[in-house]
Amino acid sequence: MLSTTAPRIHLGPNRDPALAWGIEQGGGVLVPLEYADAVVWSQGPDTFPDRLPSSVRWVQLPSAGVEPWISAGIVDERRVWTSAAGVYARNVAEHGVALLLAGVRALAEQVRATSWRKAEFDHRVATLHGATVAIVGCGGIGRAMIPLLTAFGAKVLAVTRSGVPVPGASETVDATRTTEIWSRADHFVLAAPATSETAQLVDAAALAGMKSTAWIVNVARGALIDTDALVRALADGSIGGAALDVTDPEPLPEGHPLWTLPNAIVTPHVANPKTGLTAVLADHVSANVERFAAGQPLLATIDIERGY
């Protein structure tokens, strides 16, 4: 028997299993659109209903950016609309940690190996435990990485514009002190936006300051690294390696040395991939359904004027 107070949610345009789970976890029940108090939508604006019943008081959209929904005139003032702002940061963070672990544990070379090179890799596989990982740029992605890295016993050195201490980081320094970190941290994750200040932040001087075992992970933008200087450092072995989800130039052309350097990993800008997006969204939906049921403010509400 259904609770009479359970929010009635329409899930469209089709019954995505992860989102259905999220709605039920949040205490909602799935209903056809005409009986709905709220709508959870899993696809783009093209298939969105032309008219919503007036009973619909809330709509959850699937994307972090909602400009196409606003410009299509879909988002209205008659109900609350929420986006997935911040939700996908976790997925990018997972990719960043996967890349860092692959680097630190020498998986790039082990994956390419075709014989049992135990004596060699026994001295090459390292650990995140006790390592200091600098996260350059601690917005949603950088912050989402902190609990992952600390679970492995790493310490986080956060670099932010303001220098205001980031929760969970052992230390936070402001961006004017970035040059200090190259020799202090064991590994680096770039998660800062591409701006004139971050352009080629990792240049020849930065690379020269790093430990010979340091791995650099880039899940931000390719422009943050001087690619030619990086290729030289990788070829010289002056750093441990680089694992890049973004490159400069991007897409990385065939024949580029980064494709074949043994201490380089390139993934083609897939840190927030199409598969599993709704699995990632499901928890956000669940939290919002719970808040909706309780009459509490929803997460990631959209402000039409602001455009997000």
Q: Is residue 167 a contact point for a second copy (CB under 8 A)? A: no
Residue in 109, 171, 250, 290 annotated catalytic: 250
Residues 72 to 111: which contact a second copy by CB under 8 A? 90-91, 94-95, 97-99, 101-102, 104-108, 110-111
The residue from 259, 294, 301, 304 that contacts a second copy (CB under 8 A) is: 259
Q: 3-state SS string over the chain?
A: CCCCCCCEEEEECCCCHHHHHHHHHCCCEECCHHHCCEEEECCCHHHCCCCCCCCCCEEECCCCCCHHHHHCCCCCCCCEEECCCCCCHHHHHHHHHHHHHHHHCCHHHHHHCCCCCHHHHCCCCCCCCCCEEEEECCCHHHHHHHHHHHHCCCEEEEEECCCCCCCCCCEEEEHHHHHHHHHHCCEEEECCCCCCCCCCCECHHHHHHCCCCCEEEECCCHHHECHHHHHHHHHHCCCCEEEECCCCCCCCCCCCHHHCCCCEEECCCCCCCCCCHHHHHHHHHHHHHHHHHHCCCCCCECCCCCCC
Q: Could you tell me the smallest distance in angstroms from the CB atom of residue 279 to a second copy?
A: 4
Q: Could you tell me the smallest distance in angstroms from the CB atom of residue 182 to a second copy?
A: 19
User: Would you call 250 a catalytic residue per the annotation?
Assistant: yes
User: Would you call 221 a catalytic residue per the annotation?
Assistant: yes
Residues 114 to 143: which contact a second copy by CB under 8 A? 114-118, 121-131
The residue from 147, 165, 193, 307 that contacts a second copy (CB under 8 A) is: 147
Residues 27 to 66: which contact a second copy by CB under 8 A? none
Q: Is residue 269 a contact point for a second copy (CB under 8 A)? A: yes
Pick between residue 178 and residue 278 the one whose CB is nearest to a second copy: 278
Q: Is residue 275 a contact point for a second copy (CB under 8 A)? A: yes
Binding site for a second copy (CB under 8 A): 18, 21, 90-91, 94-95, 97-99, 101-102, 104-108, 110-118, 121-131, 147-148, 151-153, 250-254, 259-260, 265-271, 273-276, 279-280, 282-283
Q: Which residues are catalytic?
A: 221, 250, 269
